[in-house]
């Protein structure tokens, strides 16, 4: 069971969200999104987090040096790579810093054959991927689209016994997260736009409802 609230970009909102006890929060360093956070603000947010809340830095086609510098300045233990990052970059990250890597993958009608090839390459280079986040493929967007993943296709093709633990994202909100957990059986869930009143503006009531519904569903599935 792992619940992440992604796209926090101001200290006050982050403090209020953390009070609702998510397992992790996401700090998005991709400039072309209303959820982007500055490195300085992210560092302040991380400095105030309780130990039980995992901060995750989200990067989209950033360079190795950019990721390295940001994670060090913000003291981030975990990165989420949401662009077209090659396997070699993950290998270089592994060799340069002790970081957990979440590889995000956007699922479209083409399925997960390319993800299988990607993980094969990770194995050949000895790359350790802690988890795989599955989001919906929307041209020109790297998450936060509000579009739901095709759960049926995901169930058919995700190799739970061979691949890293799956984190389900894409179009989740308080009204469907329980059904998503029941049908897909992910290790974790991730939400950004599904708990917002406007792009980039978190609605704390929706955040609370999402966490409550997700925990209830995970407990039912695990029990």
Active-site entry in 6, 74, 122, 132: 6
Residue 6 designated active-site = yes
Task: Verify whether residue 222 is a known catalytic residue.
Answer: no
Could you read off the pLDDT tens digit of each residue along the chain, which spans 223 residues? 899 999 999 999 999 999 999 999 999 999 989 999 999 999 999 999 999 999 999 999 999 999 999 999 999 999 999 999 999 999 999 887 789 999 999 998 889 999 999 999 999 999 999 999 999 876 655 555 567 889 999 999 999 999 999 999 999 999 999 999 999 999 999 999 999 999 999 999 999 999 999 999 999 988 7
* CB neighbour class for 63 (10 Å; exposed up to 12, middle 13-18, buried from 19): exposed
Per the structure, how many domains does the chain have?
A: 1
How many CA atoms are closer than 13 Å to the CA of 157, on its beta-carbon side? 17
| CA distances for 82 relative to 5, 35, 64, 102, angstroms | 16, 14, 14, 9
Range of the domain at 143: 3-222
* DSSP state string for the chain: --EEEE---SHHHHHHHHTT--SEEEEE--SSSTTB--HHHHHHHHHT--TTSEEEEEESS--HHHHHHHHHHHT-SEEEE-S---HHHHHHHHHHS--EEEEEEEE-TT-SHHHHHHHHHHHHHT----EEEEEE--TT-SS-S-PPP-HHHHHHH--TTTSPPEEE-SS--TTTHHHHHHHH--SEEEESGGGEEETTEE-HHHHHHHHHHHHHHHHHHH-
CATH number for position 158: 3.20.20.70
For residue 136, the model assigns a pLDDT of 86
- Looking at 74, 132, 135, 150, which residue is catalytic? 135
């Amino acid at each position: 069971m792992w619940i992440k609230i992604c796209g926090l970009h101001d200290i006050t909102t982050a403090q209020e969200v953390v009070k609702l006890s998510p397992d992790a929060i996401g700090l998005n360093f991709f400039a072309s999104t209303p959820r982007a956070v500055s490195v300085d603000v992210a560092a302040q947010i991380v400095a105030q987090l309780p130990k039980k809340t995992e901060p995750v830095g989200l990067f989209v086609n950033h360079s190795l040096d950019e990721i390295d510098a940001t994670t060090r300045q913000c003291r981030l233990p975990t990165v989420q790579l949401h662009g077209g990052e090659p396997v070699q970059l993950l290998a270089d990250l592994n060799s340069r810093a002790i970081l957990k890597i979440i590889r995000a993958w956007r699922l479209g009608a083409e399925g997960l054959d390319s993800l299988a090839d990607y993980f094969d390459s990770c194995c050949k280079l000895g790359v350790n991927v802690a988890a795989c986040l599955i989001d919906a493929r929307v041209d020109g967007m790297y998450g936060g689209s509000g579009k739901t993943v095709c759960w049926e296709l995901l169930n058919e093709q995700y190799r739970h016994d061979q691949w890293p633990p799956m984190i389900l994202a894409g179009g989740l909100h308080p009204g469907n997260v329980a059904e998503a957990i029941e049908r897909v059986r992910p290790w974790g869930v991730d939400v950004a736009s599904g708990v917002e009143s406007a792009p980039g503006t978190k609605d704390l009531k929706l955040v609370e409802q999402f966490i409550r519904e997700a925990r209830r569903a995970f407990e039912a599935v695990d029990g």
